[in-house]
């Protein structure tokens, strides 16, 4: 009964994502980014033919992470602007009225929508990310050490953000929820960079900013884990690169992953609670 509702709504949400204009803009942005990066990597290879292989790998790793950041940003924008309208927009327009008067639990509807969004966001990140990895492999011959882990972490980052978007959309308007979610995503990334700089200069206060923000919204922490999975393992031996925002020196701990999972569960639970109490 509940499983059927969840599944039906997941399929419906996926269908919505595929049929709405969000997908088209997402595809256009991704294709633009991937072609730009293909061109960039091609130039990198031909211009810097004189580099030692170690230097070339460092360059490739850094640029790959930079492009992956672009991808995760696109995924964040796409899912945040999909997650908001899918709930708040439907409440505002009245689409929710007919659906919610079927023999369904509100929490099951929410869970179904979340599953659909997760499937869509993860699907996008994995397809586009894999495309990017292949581009790097073809142009400069670099293949990351843990591609599957990296892509999974990117998908997890997207999941965290869209869960936040879903919570926001149960309490504020659809557009605002998208904007706030992307804003928070950007803010934690910047806080993460601030934290790194703080660590590099031994400034505990600044380092604390990064740590705290990574706990409050796990997008940046997961992103750092993904970067670590993509970059060349030899890079950790160069302490000089420690303060680059597009390199990560340490892999994710299992504790942090568990925290991220708990975070998603709690935020989803809060959304369900807020949705349950809301008058439609």
Partner 1 sequence: MSTDPTVLAEAAAPDAERLLADLPPTPAVWCSGLRKRYRKQTAVDDVSFTVGRGEVLGLLGPNGAGKTSVIKILLGLVRPDAGEVLLLGRPGTDPQARARVGYLPELFRYQPWLTAAEVLALHVRLAGAAVPAREQRESLALVGLTDRAGDRVGGFSKGMQQRLGLAVALVARPELVLLDEPTSALDPIGRADVRDLLLSLKERRVAVLLNSHLIGEVERVCDRVVILDKGRVAASGTLAELLGQRELRLRLDEVSAEAEARLAAAGQLTHSGDSYTVTLPADQSATMVPDLVAELVRLGVRVHAVEPARISLEERLLDILRAGTGGDR
Q: Quote the tokens at residue 46.
A: 């031909």
Compute the least distance from the CB of residue 19 to partner 1, in Å.
4
CB of 32 to partner 1, least distance (A): 25
The DSSP annotation for 194-218 comes to HHHHHHHTT-HHHHHHHHHHHHHST
**Cβ of residue 172: shortest distance to partner 1, in angstroms?**
18
Q: How many chain residues bind partner 1 (CB under 8 A)?
A: 24
Site map 102..141 versus partner 1, x via CB under 8 A: xxxx------------------------------------
**For residue 16, what is the enclosing H or E element?**
helix 2-19
CA distances from 175 to 80, 137, 163, 167, 168 (A): 9, 38, 15, 13, 10
Closer CB to partner 1, 96 or 154, in the complex: 96
Residues 6-65 within binding reach of partner 1 (CB under 8 A): 8, 12, 15-16, 19-20
Counting contacts by CB under 8 A, is residue 97 touching partner 1? yes
Q: What angle do CA 188, 186, 205 make, to 5 degrees?
A: 30
Helix or strand run (H / E) with residue 271: helix 254-277
Q: How far is the CB of 59 from partner 1 (least distance, A)?
A: 44
Q: Does residue 3 bind partner 1 (CB under 8 A)?
A: no
Choosing from 28, 43, 93, 130, the residue that interacts with partner 1 (CB under 8 A) is 93
Q: What is the DSSP string of 140-200?
A: H----S-HHHHHHHHHHHHHHHHHHHHHHHHHS-HHHHHHHHHHHHHHHHHHHHHHHHHHH
Which residue of 27, 95, 138, 262 would you call a contact of partner 1, by CB under 8 A?
95
CA distance 212 to 195: 9
The one segment of 96-104, 139-147, 155-163, 224-232 that binds partner 1 by CB under 8 A: 96-104
* Residue ranges in 236-275 that form contacts with partner 1 under rule CB under 8 A: none
Distance of alpha carbon 171 from its chain centroid, rounded?
22
How far out from the chain centre does Cα 153 lie? 8
The nearer residue to partner 1, 169 or 248, going by C-beta atoms, is: 169
Residue closer to partner 1 by CB (options 66, 115) is: 115
Interaction between residue 88 and partner 1 (CB under 8 A): no
- Residues lying near partner 1 in the complex (CB under 8 A) are found at 1, 4-5, 8, 12, 15-16, 19-20, 93-95, 97-105, 277, 279-280
């Amino acid at each position: 009964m509940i499983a059927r509702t969840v599944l039906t709504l997941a399929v419906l949400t996926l269908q919505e994502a595929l049929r709405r204009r969000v997908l088209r803009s997402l595809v256009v942005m991704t294709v633009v980014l991937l072609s730009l990066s293909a061109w960039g990597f091609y130039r990198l290879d031909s211009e810097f033919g004189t580099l030692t292989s170690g230097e070339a790998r460092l360059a490739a790793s850094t640029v790959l992470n930079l492009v992956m950041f672009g991808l995760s940003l696109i995924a964040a924008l796409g899912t945040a602007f999909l997650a908001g309208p899918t709930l708040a927009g439907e409440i505002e327009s009245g689409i929710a009225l007919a659906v919610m008067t079927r023999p369904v639990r509100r929490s099951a509807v929410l869970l179904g929508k979340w599953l659909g969004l997760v499937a869509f966001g993860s699907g996008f990140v994995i397809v586009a990310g894999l495309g990017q990895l292949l581009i790097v492999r073809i142009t400069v011959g670099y293949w990351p050490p843990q591609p599957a882990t990296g892509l999974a972490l990117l998908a997890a980052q997207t999941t965290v953000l869209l869960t936040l978007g879903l919570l926001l959309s149960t309490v504020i308007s659809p557009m605002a929820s998208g904007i706030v979610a992307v804003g928070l995503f950007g803010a934690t990334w910047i806080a993460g960079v601030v934290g790194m700089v703080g660590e590099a200069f031994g400034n505990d206060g600044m380092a604390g900013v990064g740590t705290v923000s990574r706990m409050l919204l796990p997008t940046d922490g997961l992103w750092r884990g993904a970067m670590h999975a993509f970059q060349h393992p030899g890079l950790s031996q160069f302490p000089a690169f420690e303060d680059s925002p597009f390199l990560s020196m340490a892999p994710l701990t299992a504790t942090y992953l568990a925290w991220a999972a708990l975070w998603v569960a709690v935020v989803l639970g809060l959304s369900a609670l807020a949705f349950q109490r809301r008058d439609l």
